[in-house]
């Protein structure tokens, strides 16, 4: 979304953000939730903190945005539930779609990266796989739940566990109770 287009809907977006982030305990969390949402909608290929903060202008406090994303304590499950309830009457879904999306990755800093097949590249390569659920109807859809797929190599209980990847779990913020689950089941949050 271009900056001018975003300005035209900013009041609606702020109202939406206030509704989604209303359960957050602190006002600063609600504020940075709205800023993060705006950053995701701005034009630009990279949606990581640094480039997003640069595009946000006066709201582009990289440190505060990074804190909100990485260490501010809030429950994403509550936001997802509010989003699903909000979108259900708008979309009037006739289907629930479960989809996966690959995100190609180089290096070792990102969580859940492993060599696996992704349709994004059409081959086996280093990537993250995100799994999402969408409410869908003819002409509209909305992602209402999503998470990273945890490969077997990242699961300490798996016979295919990679000790180096298992050791990175804590640094990546992966809770100890999160395990690898084969396709076909959606773990509860």
188 found inside a domain:
no
What pLDDT, on the 0 to 100 scale, is given for residue 44?
79
95 found inside a domain:
yes
pTM as predicted:
0.71
Chain mean position to CA 180: 18
Of 96, 175, 187, 106, whose CA–CA distance to 147 is shortest?
187
Identify the domain boundary among 70, 93, 111.
Answer: 70
What total of structural domains would you count in the chain?
Answer: 2
105, 128 in Cβ contact below 8 A?
yes
What pLDDT, on the 0 to 100 scale, is given for residue 126?
94
- The stretches in the chain having pLDDT less than 70 are 1-4, 6, 183-189
61 found inside a domain:
yes
Full domain range(s) for residue 25: 3-70
89 found inside a domain:
yes
186 found inside a domain:
no
Q: Are residues 87 and 141 in the same domain?
A: yes
Q: Are residues 92 and 154 in the same domain?
A: yes
* CA–CA distance, 171 with 121 (Å, rounded to integer): 27
Q: Are residues 113 and 44 in the same domain?
A: no
Q: Are residues 111 and 31 in the same domain?
A: no
Q: Are residues 82 and 146 in the same domain?
A: yes
Please give the helix or strand (H or E) that residue 116 lies within, else none: strand 114-118
Q: Are residues 52 and 131 in the same domain?
A: no
42 found inside a domain:
yes
178 found inside a domain:
no
């Amino acid at each position: 979304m271009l900056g001018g287009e975003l300005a035209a809907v900013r009041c609606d977006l702020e109202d939406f953000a206030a509704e989604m982030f209303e359960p957050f305990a602190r006002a600063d969390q609600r504020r940075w939730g709205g800023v993060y949402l705006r950053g995701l909608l701005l034009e630009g290929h990279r949606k990581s903190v640094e480039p997003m903060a640069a595009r946000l202008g006066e709201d582009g406090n990289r440190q505060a945005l990074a804190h909100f994303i990485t260490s501010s304590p809030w429950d994403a499950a509550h936001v997802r539930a509010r989003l699903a309830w909000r979108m259900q009457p708008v979309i009037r879904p006739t289907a629930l779609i479960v989809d996966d999306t690959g995100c190609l990755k180089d290096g070792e800093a990102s969580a859940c990266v492993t060599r696996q097949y992704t349709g994004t590249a059409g081959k086996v390569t280093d990537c993250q796989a995100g799994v999402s659920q969408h409410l869908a109807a003819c002409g509209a859809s909305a992602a209402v739940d999503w998470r990273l797929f945890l490969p077997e190599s990242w699961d300490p209980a798996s016979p295919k566990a990679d000790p180096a990847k298992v050791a990175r779990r804590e640094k990546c913020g992966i809770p100890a109770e999160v395990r690898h689950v084969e396709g076909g089941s959606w773990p509860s949050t």
